[in-house]
Amino acid sequence: MYKIIGADQREYGPVPVEQVRKWLVEGRANAHTKAWSEAGSEWKILSEFPEFADALRAQGAVVRPSPPKIGAPEADKLAAEIIARDYRVDIGDCFSRSWNLVRDNFWLLAGATAIAKVLVYALWFAPALGIPVTALLGLVFQGGLHWLFLKRVRGEPADMGEVFAGFSLAFVPLLLTGIVVHVLVSIGLALCIVPGVYLFVAWRMFVPLLIVDKGLEFWPAMELSRKVVTKHWWQCFGLFLLAGLVGLLGLLGCFVGIFFTLPIAVGATVYAYQDIFGAQPVNELLAPPTPEPALTTATPSEPAPSGSAPSEASSTSSVPAPETSPLSATAPEGNAPSAPPAPPAQSGQQNSGTSSAHRSGSLEQN
């Protein structure tokens, strides 16, 4: 029997191995889903269980659609929903999962990080416009790099070309974000330092991914990030600070080590984004979910691939409903039309018929 940790960081199970394989085939779990088995004493990611190797290889060949894009009204609803259900930034868990992610995809993630950082540093030392151009394009490169990491976190295929996804998918919004963030943060730092630090953390961590992943314009993405981060600003600040320190540790190895430590720092931030903004599917905000019929047998429902929160998860034997598959519902028995009742018997006619038969019998005897 196995238990898994869903995208909402809740525990589901126990379920048999066949059920976990089914979830993997349907994309409701991936190689980085944390799981526990009766045979072991610690939680591990599913890729570390040899019994799921075939299902994971088959899953890697499937290209799954990205989450739907949303607009400003849906962004406000998403912010309200996240704040209402609350969230927690588990810094240690984010770095632990990031370590496993980088270990399993080292050349892709380390290579992509090296390309992005080398290009940014090259722009920094360009004559005349080096620093302003770097400040403006920094978030464009960050959006592409984080997008690559996010695809691997979700178990989707990715390649080095994703580093430049910020230019192809959302260049203008990312460019405008870079301008606004640097202007407003600079004003905040000049006035009292604290407002600048607050805004820098609220905007710099997740805004590029919100723009690329959810298709938001720059200001709705900035507001969504600010509202949500403010809920647990200190936790986000702790992750941001530790990610920066981990990235800088690479400088101790003559700058070469930075390409080993930076991917881990980036991965931790991307996992935090997925935990916060991916735990509730956006399409559930656009239309009310179909009510689930009563179950006659106690069978575990099926987990969403990433980002779907369960309707009720108080019991560990149930898991969240699918993110995109509508729930099948059967019509209640009471809705089926019943046959009209038979008309009441005509007592008068029955009595009349009985009297006539009695009279006929009397005549025959006479």
Distance CA 303, CA 309 (A): 9
CA angle, residues 34, 28, 84, in degrees to nearest 5: 80
| Token representation of residue 330 | 């059967």
Tell me the CA distances in angstroms from 257 to 113, 251, 253, 267, one per residue in order: 12, 6, 5, 16
Residues in the chain, overall count: 366
DSSP-derived secondary structure for 279-293 = SS-THHHHSPPPPPP
Question: What per-residue confidence (pLDDT) applies to 328?
Answer: 39
CA-derived radius of gyration, the chain: 30
Question: What per-residue confidence (pLDDT) applies to 146?
Answer: 95
**CA–centroid distance for 133 within its chain:** 33
Question: What is the arithmetic mean of pLDDT over 267-296?
Answer: 61
Q: Give pLDDT tens digits for 2-44.
A: 888 876 667 878 888 888 888 887 777 877 788 888 877 778 7
Measured over the CA atoms of residue 216, residue 153, residue 182 and residue 77, the dihedral's sign is positive
The percentage of the chain sitting over the pLDDT mark of 70, rounded to a whole number, equals 70
pLDDT reading at 315 higher than 80: no
Q: Give pLDDT tens digits for 99-156.
A: 999 998 999 999 999 999 888 888 877 766 667 777 788 899 999 999 999 999 988 8
Q: Give pLDDT tens digits for 141-180.
A: 999 999 999 999 988 888 999 999 999 999 999 999 989 9
Question: What per-residue confidence (pLDDT) applies to 150?
Answer: 94
Tell me the CA distances in angstroms from 102 to 73, 82, 227, 266, one per residue in order: 36, 28, 30, 10
Question: What per-residue confidence (pLDDT) applies to 289?
Answer: 38
Q: Where are the beta strands (DSSP E) in the chain?
A: 2-5, 11-15, 34-37, 44-45
- Residue 365 buriedness (CB in 10 A; 0-12 / 13-18 / 19+): exposed
**Residues forming CATH 3.30.1490.40 domain(s) in the chain:** 2-62
Q: Give pLDDT tens digits for 350-363.
A: 444 444 444 444 43
**Domain 2-62, CATH among 3.40.50.1470, 3.30.1490.40, 2.40.50.180, 3.40.718.10:** 3.30.1490.40
Question: What per-residue confidence (pLDDT) applies to 255?
Answer: 67
Residue labelled with tokens 């700058």: 255
Which one has a higher pLDDT value, 222 or 69? 222
**Is the model's pTM score more than 0.85?**
no
Give the closest residue to 3 by CA, choosing from 318, 323, 308: 318
The percentage of the chain sitting over the pLDDT mark of 90, rounded to a whole number, equals 35
Question: What per-residue confidence (pLDDT) applies to 60?
Answer: 58
Q: Give pLDDT tens digits for 240-276.
A: 999 989 888 877 766 677 778 999 999 999 999 999 9
Greatest Cα pair distance, the chain, in angstroms, is 137
Tell me the CA distances in angstroms from 117 to 95, 113, 127, 232, 264, one per residue in order: 20, 6, 18, 29, 14
Give the closest residue to 96 by CA, choosing from 49, 48, 55, 52: 48
If you ran DSSP here, which 8-state letter would residue 46 be given?
Answer: G
Question: What per-residue confidence (pLDDT) applies to 258?
Answer: 78
Which range among 74-88, 149-163, 281-295 shows the weakest confidence by mean pLDDT?
281-295
Question: What per-residue confidence (pLDDT) applies to 93?
Answer: 92
